[in-house]
Structure 1
């Protein structure tokens, strides 16, 4: 009987990955065997005191019968507990799997949300950077243009072109007065005939010096109004149009 107890105690059932069955099975099996052993001893004592002992199964048969019954009950209990442990393991595994999937979905949603926010921030930063660069580029181009024009003003033909363009815009060709800077006055007087030959409809024009005008500037006065042909005014108009486009 002690040998059987040692065998039961050493029993071990593995489920899945090294998942041992609860010691409850072993303990319960021991209880069944001990109980049946006691019943066997009681039966032996009873049989010895009764007459007609030959009619009763031998001691060995009785003991074997009870041991077999104990083994069957132990096996039944063992299998029941094993199935319970297996079912609980499966259910716990399902719960754990669902938790993992739920956490994974949450993490994916979080990463996607962060990625979209980063993309939006990058787009906004890029837009702001490009707008700033556009303004800087335009400022640079305008500044370069001014420097180029300042050099071009020094050329005699340049001022003639400005004056010719201003006179050509005049709707009235009579009683017209042309005002130029003191620096440009002498040159314009010397080239008056050449200037008028290139403009249709002008018979004559009065040319005056204007101290307030810078070199490369001119004003055309007619009975309908004044035309500002100054290069400075033209550059200001160009700047206004360019910045207006940028601000749209």
Structure 2
């Protein structure tokens, strides 16, 4: 703040004896500057340390959130794949089975598997096969029935190649491919 002083006449001589406070010795000025510098440095270090700690916590939290989301997404993807795999496998199996020709060896395997489920010593069974499968069994061996004592073979036009079922006095054992695929589907889906 400045104050303007006006005189009526010009001054003849002016001497300023003191103005403001007395001069501060240079050593004291240097000491005050050093202390102010040290105080500013300490305050800056504390502020930087706090800022660094805040950034570290924020970074750690972001990293934790990222890995949590990544893990959740991975688990969801695995669950989705687990749900899709059985249907993919069953679809591939159905396509594969429609392209595989049924030969005598395959029919023997199908019959042995099916008869093992109902086998009883001397028990009479009736096996129903698709017409083309019965023809395949008897094609090169007119006495093929001797390979299967106690079994009567019949045609069933509703069956597809590779399908069969067995009737015994205990009931019917379904050996159709579709039945086996449905059973496998239930097992894969955990039903």
Q: Same fold (TM over 0.5)?
A: yes
Residue 34, structure 1, aligned to residue 34, structure 2:
no
Residue 206, structure 1, aligned to residue 152, structure 2:
yes
Task: Say if 1:122 and 1:93 are closer, same or farther in 2 by CA, change over 3 A.
Answer: same
Shift of 1:147: 2.5
Task: Say if 1:193 and 1:235 are closer, same or farther in 2 by CA, change over 3 A.
Answer: farther
Q: Which has the higher contact order (CA 8 A, sep 6+)?
A: 2
Runs of 4+ in 1 over 6 A off after TM superposition: none
| Count of equivalent residues | 172
* SS at structure 1 position matched to 2:105: helix
1:75-131 C-alpha deviation (Å, 9 max, x unpaired): 54x544443343233223211210111001110111121112212222232333344
CA RMSD of aligned residues (A): 3.2
The TM-score with structure 2 as length reference comes to 0.70
Which consecutive residues of structure 1, in runs of 5 or more, have no partner in the other structure?
Answer: 1-32, 37-72
CA contact under 8 A between 1:218 and 1:229: conserved in structure 2?
Answer: yes
Aligned equivalents of 1:221, 1:164: Cα separation in 2:
15
* SS at structure 2 position matched to 1:102: helix
Residue 177, structure 1, aligned to residue 160, structure 2:
no
* SS at structure 2 position matched to 1:167: helix
User: 1:161 — aligned with what?
Assistant: 109
1:149-208 C-alpha deviation (Å, 9 max, x unpaired): 2233443432332123212221334232212234434444665843553x6xxx422223
When Rg is computed on C-alpha atoms for both structures, the one with the higher figure is 1
Deviates more, 1:103-112 or 1:144-153: 144-153
Which consecutive residues of structure 2, in runs of 5 or more, have no partner in the other structure?
Answer: 1-15
Task: Say if 1:228 and 1:99 are closer, same or farther in 2 by CA, change over 3 A.
Answer: same
Task: Say if 1:187 and 1:231 are closer, same or farther in 2 by CA, change over 3 A.
Answer: same
CA contact under 8 A between 1:162 and 1:230: conserved in structure 2?
Answer: no
Residue 122, structure 1, aligned to residue 67, structure 2:
no
* SS at structure 1 position matched to 2:69: helix
CA contact under 8 A between 2:126 and 2:151: conserved in structure 1?
Answer: yes
Deviates more, 1:122-131 or 1:162-171: 122-131
Return the match for 2:144 from 194, 198, 203. Answer: 194
Aligned equivalents of 2:172, 2:146: Cα separation in 1:
19
Task: Say if 1:168 and 1:193 are closer, same or farther in 2 by CA, change over 3 A.
Answer: farther
Residue 231, structure 1, aligned to residue 180, structure 2:
no
